Structure 1
Amino acid sequence: MKKNPIGRIVVRRGSVAELAVPCIVSPTDPQLSGKGLTDQAVQKAGGRKLVEACREIGHLNVGEVAMTDGFQSDADHIIFTVGPQYTGKPEDIKDLAACYLNILEMVKEKDIHQVVIPAISCGGGGFPIEKAAPLAIETIRSWLRLNPDYSIIVFVIGIIPVVYEAYWQYLMDHPY
């Protein structure tokens, strides 16, 4: 008999920088420059020491992740990841899925049990939310099935209504 996972996905509306959870995710560019809207809000919330920590990381490739302390933000940890620029090629899907999988592997490695993940690559990366939302939800579900004994709440979050609604609608149309 297949064991039900003890992890779950929760859809929220808002900004990652506004939620007081142990770990938040900030999509960023390869130089962790804080130029994207979410990345800018996260780095502002984390303060000068977070900006310095990003400079120390230096560079990330697409799909890679790096973790810092939360510094002045409400989070204990911040994970940075570089999502793909959408081109419509199959590699885009593979690269976006890698972001989610690497985030989840890192939180498990660090024994973190709550993480907030925004819509990676849907803003400046140009990834259509109608493709990104199912990919994100199914990638997270797959990871939860492969890690059935790990207790985690994965908050997927959308600051704009269309993103929130895409996640919510996908979960309603495709129950676990």
Structure 2
Amino acid sequence: MATVEIVQADITRLSVDAVVNAANSALAGGGGVDGAIHRAAGPVLDQECRAIRQTRYRSGLPTGAAVETSAGNLPARWVIHTVGPVWDNSGTQDGLLASCYTNCITVADEIGAHSIAFPTISAGAFGYPLDRATRVAVETCTRARTDIVERIVLVAFNAKAERAYRRAVDAVAG
């Protein structure tokens, strides 16, 4: 079982085997963490994402799925891209959000990544409530079954997100 850590940091600067990109389905780079990862990784990431869109995912990466690329100029070796659900207030997307984490950990196992860093998937532009997004992340990652991954880092983008993660840890442990 992997250890789960919470840090407030810039995910593009972390020294881990794989960083997760909260991507759009076109894998085209965008705002938030997606744009930051694409900018920091450099043009190789865009090239690999275009190749994936032209071959494996011609209609776009489905919500909850995960796919890897190299990491370009990032300290990590790989970027694992996943598309989180857009919040619609129905309360039905938790399973899709959990599948983002589960599928990324599965991909990390497949590529031999011992450490993986996750942003707070869907909690930015996709509108997922922060407390709910962090709870799903903590629950899913603490229960993850993995053969290779030893360290899972949940990266808070600010102090508010870090507090939400810590509350989620307390709730899951309690």
Same-fold status (TM-score > 0.5) = yes
2:21 is paired with a residue whose SS is strand
- Range with greater deviation from structure 2 (123-132 or 166-175): 166-175
Dislocated runs of 4+, deviation >6 Å: none
In the alignment, is the contact (CA less than 8 A) between 2:117 and 2:153 conserved in 1?
A: yes
In the alignment, is the contact (CA less than 8 A) between 1:28 and 1:36 conserved in 2?
A: no
Q: 2:115 is aligned with what amino acid?
A: Q
The partner residue of 2:40 within 45, 58, 68 is 45
Percent of matched pairs sharing the same residue: 26
How large is the RMSD of aligned CA atoms in angstroms? Answer: 1.6
The partner residue of 1:161 within 144, 149, 159 is 159
Q: Which runs of 5+ in 1 are unaligned?
A: none
2:152 is paired with a residue whose SS is strand
After TM superposition, the structure 1 = structure 2 runs for residues 60-139 of structure 1, keeping only pairs within 5 Å, are: 60-139=61-140
Q: TM-score, normalised by structure 2?
A: 0.90
Question: Is residue 19 of structure 1 aligned with residue 11 of structure 2?
Answer: no
Q: 2 CA distance for matches of 1:172 and 1:90?
A: 22
In the alignment, is the contact (CA less than 8 A) between 2:108 and 2:149 conserved in 1?
A: no
In the alignment, is the contact (CA less than 8 A) between 2:5 and 2:154 conserved in 1?
A: yes
Q: What is the total number of aligned residue pairs between the two structures? A: 168
Q: TM-score, normalised by structure 1?
A: 0.89
Alignment deviations for residues 74-118 of structure 1 (CA, whole Å, 9 cap, x no partner): 110000100000012243111101101100111112221100001
Q: 1 CA distance for matches of 2:109 and 2:91?
A: 28
In the alignment, is the contact (CA less than 8 A) between 2:67 and 2:80 conserved in 1?
A: yes
In the alignment, is the contact (CA less than 8 A) between 1:15 and 1:38 conserved in 2?
A: no
Q: 2:97 is aligned with what amino acid?
A: L
2:155 is paired with a residue whose SS is strand
In the alignment, is the contact (CA less than 8 A) between 1:63 and 1:95 conserved in 2?
A: yes
